[in-house]
Amino acid sequence: MLKGMTAHANDFAVDVRGLRKRYGGVTAVDGLDLGIRRGEVFGLLGPNGAGKSTTVEILQGNRSRDGGEVSVLGADPATGTRAWRSRVGIVWQDESAPAELTVRETVRHFARYYPRPRDPAEVIRLVGLEAKSDSRIKALSGGQRRRLDVALGVIGGPELLLLDEPTTGFDPAARRQFWDLIRLLADEGTTILLTTHYLEEAETLADRLAVVARGRVVAEGTPTGLRRRYGGEASVTWTEADGSPRRELTDTPTRTVAALMHRFDGEIPGLTVTRPTLEDVYLRLTGQEAAR
């Protein structure tokens, strides 16, 4: 571990410097730097193939790295002990549990792997599977199986929870319930790393975000900060007295609206102010803006 990383050990649950991983001739992670403070919800955004899942696998100790320094909860995942692993929870994109067991049996079984697990009944309730407690896994819908995956990720009461596309297959109601669970875990002090393609989810949950493209972090900050820094100008549109539409791009939309108010008596016809969204920022940073 680098000396600089040791100095940050008490501040960061995850500290990554220059992470690299290749698969044959393909570079999946190319000098990635990442710092996640203890107790924060951190979102990792990027297109498919950007290196997000590989990074999460390395942080969890399930995949080796080719270069760089990694500290997770003060230890190198490559040499993590069983006690260290019990402090890290994970929800992968694709999980599988014994199809013949019931939800209750599965959660109770996994709870035995941890020294201080959460109450299985409480976890089943938190993920919205109370009504399915006695159902066999093979009888669950895809969304219900995903909820079970989340339950297995949090049953150990982890200090760090790694979530790789956790709400894939969730309907809107289940997604909102999952958000409530993440807020509860964050309030309890759990550090959470979330990868997701749902930008609304990232903006709602994350204290900070990193955008990854081609194996590197290309931008990092709060959702608001990223919009301000990379979002570009706001768009102000209105309709002139002769009925013609007008549009102005500006960094000071409030000033533009104030000037229009002096020109019109009463309401400004057809006024809209559109500020850059996180989606606009994401597409720009990942080079997909033109394809929108």
Cα–Cα dist 19/3, whole Å? 16
Nearest to 196 by CA among 20, 42, 28, 13: 42
Q: Give the per-residue pLDDT at 169.
A: 75
Statement: residue 246 has pLDDT above 60: yes
Q: Give the per-residue pLDDT at 231.
A: 85
Exposure class string for 250-287: b at 16+ Cβ within 10 A, else e:
eeebeebeeebeeeeeeeeeeeeeeebebebbbbbbbe
CATH 3.40.50.300 intervals, the chain = 38-61+81-227
Q: Give the per-residue pLDDT at 178.
A: 86
Q: Give the per-residue pLDDT at 1.
A: 43
Q: Give the per-residue pLDDT at 290.
A: 53
Average pLDDT over residues 3-23: 78
Contact 209, 42 (CB under 8 A): yes
User: Which tokens go with 199?
Assistant: 């930008």
* Angle subtended at Cα 72 by Cα 21 and Cα 30, rounded to the nearest 5 degrees: 20
Q: Give the per-residue pLDDT at 173.
A: 85
Average pLDDT over residues 185-192: 93
Confidence of residue 3 (pLDDT cuts 50, 70, 90): very low
Average pLDDT over residues 209-232: 92
Q: How do residues 107-144 score in pLDDT, each as one tens digit?
A: 999 999 999 999 999 999 988 899 999 999 999 988 88
Average pLDDT over residues 206-219: 95
Q: How do residues 20-60 score in pLDDT, each as one tens digit?
A: 999 999 999 999 999 999 999 999 999 988 999 999 999 99
Contact 172, 204 (CB under 8 A): no
Q: Give the per-residue pLDDT at 2.
A: 45
Return the amino acid letter for 194: L
Mean pLDDT of the chain: 89
- From first CA to last CA, the distance across the chain in angstroms is 42
Tell me the percentage of the chain whose pLDDT exceeds 70: 94
Quote the CATH superfamily of domain 38-61+81-227.
P-loop containing nucleotide triphosphate hydrolases (3.40.50.300)
Contacts of 192 (CB under 8 A, 6+ apart): 40, 41, 42, 160, 161, 163, 182, 185, 186, 205
Nearest to 205 by CA among 220, 195, 213: 195
Average pLDDT over residues 83-110: 87
Exposure class string for 37-59: b at 16+ Cβ within 10 A, else e:
ebebbbbbbbbeebbbbbbbbbb
